[in-house]
Amino acid sequence: METELKFDAIGVLDFDHWTDAKKFSYSPPLLGAEDIELKVEACGVCGSDIHAANGDWGRAYTPLAVGHEIIGKVTALGDNVDKTKFHLGDRVGVGAQINSCGDCVRCSRGRQQNCKDSTGTYLSVDKKNGFETQGGYASRIRANSGFVFRIPDGLDSNIVAPLMCGGITGFKPLLTGGVKEGSKVGVVGVGGIGHMTILFAKALGAEVTAISRSDRKKEDAEKLGADHFVATADKESLKSHAETLDLIVMTASSFSESDIDQTLSLLVAGGRAIFITAPPSNEKLTLTPFNMLLNEYHIGGSAIGSPQDIEYMLKLAAEKQIKPWVQTVDINEENVSDVWKKMVKGDVRYRYVLTGYDKYFK
Ligand SMILES: NC(=O)c1ccc[n+]([C@@H]2O[C@H](COP(=O)([O-])OP(=O)(O)OC[C@H]3O[C@@H](n4cnc5c(N)ncnc54)[C@H](OP(=O)(O)O)[C@@H]3O)[C@@H](O)[C@H]2O)c1
Ligand SMILES: [Zn+2]
Ligand SMILES: [Zn+2]
């Protein structure tokens, strides 16, 4: 019987001991007419997994499986899913969103990512059925077919997985900002999303400046293709790159200890800074209004991307062979715990991807 079906997962059972990842089972929601079920084969470890698992975004429920950079094979199709587009066994991806209302102004304008009734892949409640969502550190997942994407053949599952959230999140501000040949783009935070943003900005022909807290990642940034490097701890380096950037994508996981005015000094007058960070829910940004008005900076935010953006990104990634730097790790309790601890310490170059699902989830 469908209702007795269980999916296996690894996640947080107790927020006070969140780094002790544990196996559990849960009953999935019924497969809706528009839904697709997939058997997971790879899942990236996004910075958001850490925020969600450690309680930065509240402690809504346990057990909680995170993971929203998911690649897998289609194992079931709802009655109304377009069977010319999706077939059993297809390789598909799911990102940070698994549904939206489909009716509101935002959805109808292709801004499903901003829908107020959006369903997040994890730590979210599906308003349709009350299901508390569980992510991709699991044997299977069900998602609305509008948020499931065919993966181009030329992209390896372990390498494409991080694009499903981190990749689109870094790419979207470049798209919105009209980045093209010769644009001057800065990327703050050389982490999972930051390194993918550098790769995409280079693929679009931009001149890229990587901006990190220290010069520890300078060599990697150069290997990723960055043309310039600024360590924010080094005031001289900041000064020598003043007013050189049209757009800065702010990808660091926190700005509570950053001097944002100082980072903005890298922008030309009229330049844009887009924050994609999703820090602890109580974190505030500190900005000096005078600094913004005198320089006419535009400050904004950006959330993942719409389904159309994700499709476009995947096509571009295949064409340009965008390859995030991944460290693959077999999924099991010990490895998930270890990877989370390493993420907290910043010990990642630059995205962990969980693999070996077949071995662990029988
Ligand atoms: N907008 C969206 O839709 C969306 C989607 C996914 C994720 N996110 C958010 O984006 C952020 C980055 O995610 P990620 O996967 O790239 O994480 P990540 O791999 O952990 O990288 C974050 C980077 O931020 C910098 N950093 C770390 N701790 C910091 C601190 N205390 N203060 C200042 N900088 C710090 C580090 O860069 P340096 O060492 O170079 O300084 C680090 O590499 C997270 O907040 C995540 O939740 C947003
Ligand atoms: Zn909507
Ligand atoms: Zn993410």
> pLDDT tens digit string along 162-171?
999 999 999 9
Q: If you search the block for the tokens 């995030």, which residue do you land on?
A: 324
pLDDT in tens, 107-119: 999 999 999 999 9
Question: Which of 351, 253, 310 has the alpha carbon at shortest distance from 96?
Answer: 310
Q: Where are the domains of the chain?
A: 2-165+305-360, 167-301
Q: Among 115, 123, 172, 193, which is best to mutate for testing ligand 1, by the most ligand atoms less than 8 A from CB?
A: 193
Question: Which of 117, 118, 99, 122 has the alpha carbon at shortest distance from 45?
Answer: 122
CA dihedral 227, 249, 149, 180 (to 10 degrees): -50
The alpha carbon dihedral of 288, 169, 117, 161 has a sign of negative
Alpha carbon of 53 to ligand 2 centroid (Å): 26
What is the Cα–Cα distance from 281 to 70, expressed in whole angstroms? 25
Say if CB 352 and CB 43 are below 8 A apart.
no
Q: Tell me the two tokens of residue 164.
A: 């499903």
What is the Cα–Cα distance from 9 to 70, expressed in whole angstroms? 13
Alpha carbon of 248 to ligand 1 centroid (Å): 14
Residue 207 CA: distances (Å) to CA of 9, 65, 210, 333: 42, 38, 10, 42
What is the Cα–Cα distance from 29 to 186, expressed in whole angstroms? 42
Say if CB 210 and CB 187 are below 8 A apart.
yes
Alpha carbon of 303 to ligand 2 centroid (Å): 15
For residue 100, the ligand closest to its alpha carbon is 2
Residues in the 5 Å CB sphere of ion ligand 3 = 46, 48, 165
Say if CB 145 and CB 35 are below 8 A apart.
yes
DSSP state of 34: T
Question: Which of 244, 295, 304, 229 has the alpha carbon at shortest distance from 274?
Answer: 304
Enter the CATH code of domain 2-165+305-360: 3.90.180.10
Enter the CATH code of domain 167-301: 3.40.50.720
**How many alpha carbons fall within 13 Å on the CB side of residue 62?**
17
Residues 6+ apart with CB under 8 A from 73: 38, 39, 41, 89, 90, 91, 92
pLDDT of residue 144: 98
Q: Tell me the two tokens of residue 123.
A: 């730590």
For residue 66, the ligand closest to its alpha carbon is 3
Strand pairing category for 7-11 and 148-150: unpaired
Say if CB 249 and CB 301 are below 8 A apart.
no
CB-CB neighbours of 241 under 10 Å: 17
Residue 266 CA: distances (Å) to CA of 171, 241, 248, 323: 20, 6, 8, 28
Length of the chain (residues): 362
Q: Is the CB of 2 under 6 A from ligand 1?
A: no
Q: Is the CB of 118 under 6 A from ligand 1?
A: no
Alpha carbon of 99 to ligand 2 centroid (Å): 9
Helix (H) or strand (E) holding 198: helix 192-203
Strand pairing category for 207-212 and 184-188: parallel
Atom of ligand 1 lying closest to residue 46 CA: 15
Q: Among 238, 253, 255, which is best to mutate for testing ligand 1, by the most ligand atoms less than 8 A from CB?
A: 253
Say if CB 174 and CB 337 are below 8 A apart.
no
Ranges of residues in the chain with a pLDDT under 50 are: 1-2
Alpha carbon of 68 to ligand 3 centroid (Å): 6
Helix (H) or strand (E) holding 264: helix 260-264
Strand pairing category for 97-99 and 119-120: antiparallel
Q: Is the CB of 196 under 6 A from ligand 1?
A: no
pLDDT of residue 3: 53
